[in-house]
Amino acid sequence: MLFRGLDEQRSGLKSSWLSRLKLVYEDEDVIVVDKPAGLLTMATEKERRKTAYSFLYAYVKNKKPPEKIFIVHRLDREASGLLVFAKTEYAKRHLQDQFRDHSATRKYVAVVEGRVRQDMCRIESYLAENAAHRAYSSKDQTKAKLAVTHIRVLQRFRQTTLIEARLESGRKHQIRAHLSERGHPIVGDRDYGSQINRLHRLALHAVHLTFKHPRTGKFLQFESPYPASFRFL
């Protein structure tokens, strides 16, 4: 279901982005969306209007009565898939606590360069960030944070591998850095060493999101199929 009822001319939002940002679920506490590749989650110094947050902000402000929106977690600009936003400060804190204690589950599907040998593996390291804002594994635990990624091979191709990644922690560029350091950068990820970019985007999609509803306590589960183009790389 797409967003409806927004006055695009007044808000200054491009209809192409608005039509591609899909509303998956909404109630009085949370909103779950399926973000397209190329759209920021939140504003940066260079871009403040074309973001998932700004579109949702305009959407809830048009409601009667107007509502609020809060960022819970992020998805890289060139990645796609599921994101949850909160509509109250209490819901935001509750959801972020779930991401911190790992009771919320996030799974991603990616296409990586090369043939991953192990069917399943666990990658653990302490991730830091360099001056170029790229993540890397460091032995200095005073400057880095623990990151754990679980990898499962879904299908092997001649030059690439389709994998599922489950986050046990949520560090910036965690999946991208971990896979690159294993010699399997995500297709389209030039920042982390990819030499293939046939899709002209990052071949990473958030396919699964599970969390406990901040008010009712009920577990909510959402799925978003990864792009069919992932299988043609």
Active site residue 29: no
CB atoms within 10 A of CB 47: 13
- Cβ burial, residue 138 (10 Å; 0-12/13-18/19+): middle
Instruction: For 66-185, list the strands marked E by DSSP.
Output: 70-71, 80-86, 105-113, 120-129, 135-137, 145-156, 160-167
Cis preceding-peptide flag for 65 (omega within 30 of 0): yes
Which residue in 76, 97, 101, 119 is the catalytic one?
76
136-143 CB contacts, 8 Å cutoff, 24+ apart: 136/177, 136/181, 137/177, 137/178, 137/181
DSSP state of 214: T
Cβ contact 55:17 at 8 Å: yes
Which are the catalytic amino acids? 76
